[in-house]
Amino acid sequence: MLSFLPAPVLGVIAAILLALNTVFWCLLLYIPALLKLIVPVSGFRILCTRVIIWISESWVACNTGWMKLTQPTRWDVEGADQLRRQGWYLVLSNHQSWVDILAMQRVFNRKAPFLKFFLKKELIWVPVIGLAWWGLDFPFMKRHSREYLIRHPEKRGEDLITTRKACEKFRHTPVSVMNFVEGTRFTPAKHASQKSSYTHLLTPKAGGAAFVLDAMGDAIETLVDVTIAYPGGAPSFWDFLCGRVSEVRMRISTRSIPEYLKGRDYSSDAEHRRNMKAWMASLWAEKDQMLSELNQR
């Protein structure tokens, strides 16, 4: 353990280890990713995807290694024993910090299928990891705002078509489709601006989860509900690298997804929209109560 070092020094060491680990595994990942790009054979591409997932899981395992070396953080996790590697999951979580992603990767790694996120289309150009995300079949989305759709009604439905195309790639290997349904990280300012009815959460947006259930409802049967709390307050990424996060608390629960929420068009079915929002609201009410308990020091 290096936690005896001054926090800024610890942060620099952790950042260097993260960067070196990322560059090493990404360079290795480029080999099957490029082969997947240039060889248009479905079976071969599925094999390349599995190799890429193994490499990505190794990257996460090494991240866990440098965390143990540099971080004094206590990990209080319940429910990870419910996860299985062979399965198709919809994963929903609250979102407070960029640390959430590293925390979930650490806990889920090699216990559940690799977590995959919906990303903005522009992120494919991020140096080093943009190609890695493409090789992992992360869906790159170009989402239209409500204002844009009012001006261009002919674009309605494009989001769902893009989601369906992306989710088709998920049918060949088990996957955990991750969605931060609040749409952004929680802050007191955002909470006040939204006039959220929850104490610790922003208002959830049901559309992203609904699109996945429309596109893959026949494959995804299980919801993995994740609640993350930082009793010392939501940390910045730099705080985490510097070892200033004393404890991470995570609760994981699995439950079946109601059949009436699958395979229906969220954009055009008003009854389905009401059902999805009601379902999400009930999940968020439970999560809000749990956060009240987890945030107690």
Q: How far apart are CA 110 and CA 176, in angstroms?
A: 12
Residue 131 has pLDDT above 90, yes or no: no
Residue 88 lies in a domain: yes
Main-chain dihedrals φ then ψ at residue 258, nearest 5 degrees: -55, 135
Residue 66 lies in a domain: no
Q: Which residue has the tokens 């240039």?
A: 38
Retrieve residue 262's tokens: 């699958």
Q: What is the pLDDT of residue 214?
A: 84
Q: Of 76-80, 111-115, 251-255, 264-268, which gets the smallest average pLDDT?
A: 264-268
How many domains, the chain?
Answer: 1
Q: How far apart are CA 211 and CA 217, in angstroms?
A: 9
Residue 52 lies in a domain: no
Main-chain dihedrals φ then ψ at residue 32, nearest 5 degrees: -65, -30
Residue 169 has pLDDT above 70, yes or no: yes
Residue 145 has pLDDT above 80, yes or no: no
Q: What is the pLDDT of residue 158?
A: 66
Q: What is the pLDDT of residue 153?
A: 67
pLDDT, mean over the chain: 88
Which three-class secondary structure state does DSSP give residue 63? helix
Q: Any idea what the CATH number is for the domain that residue 285 is in?
A: 3.40.1130
The residue ranking higher by pLDDT, 56 or 149, is 56
Residue 133 has pLDDT above 90, yes or no: no
For range 107-133, the mean pLDDT: 84
The residue ranking higher by pLDDT, 205 or 131, is 205
Residue 43 lies in a domain: no
For range 263-267, the mean pLDDT: 82
For range 51-55, the mean pLDDT: 94
User: Percent helix, strand, coil in the chain (nearest 5)?
Assistant: 55, 15, 30
Q: How far apart are CA 46 and CA 56, in angstroms?
A: 15
Q: How many CB atoms lie within 10 A of CB 53?
A: 21
For range 190-201, the mean pLDDT: 94
Retrieve residue 102's tokens: 């590293």
Q: How far apart are CA 36 and CA 158, in angstroms?
A: 26
Q: What is the pLDDT of residue 254?
A: 95
pLDDT digits (tens, 9 = 90+) for 153-164: 666 666 667 667
Residue 142 lies in a domain: yes
Residue 58 lies in a domain: no
For range 218-225, the mean pLDDT: 89
Residue 232 has pLDDT above 80, yes or no: yes
The secondary structure of residue 122, as a DSSP letter, is G
Q: What is the pLDDT of residue 256?
A: 93
Which domain covers residue 85, as residue numbers?
73-294
Look at strands 119-120 and 222-229 and give their pairing. unpaired
Residue 107 lies in a domain: yes
Residue 4 lies in a domain: no
Q: What is the pLDDT of residue 44?
A: 92
Instruction: Report the range out of 44-53, 123-132, 212-221 with the highest average pLDDT.
Output: 44-53
Q: What is the pLDDT of residue 146?
A: 62
What's the Cα-to-Cα distance from 6 to each of 14, 70, 238, 246, rounded to whole Å? 12, 11, 13, 15
Query: What single letter denotes the amino acid at residue 6?
Result: P
Q: What is the pLDDT of residue 284?
A: 96
Residue 142 has pLDDT above 70, yes or no: no
For range 4-17, the mean pLDDT: 90
pLDDT digits (tens, 9 = 90+) for 86-112: 888 999 999 999 999 999 999 999 999
Which three-class secondary structure state does DSSP give residue 226? strand
The secondary structure of residue 124, as a DSSP letter, is G
> Per-residue confidence at 42, pLDDT binned at 50, 70, 90?
confident
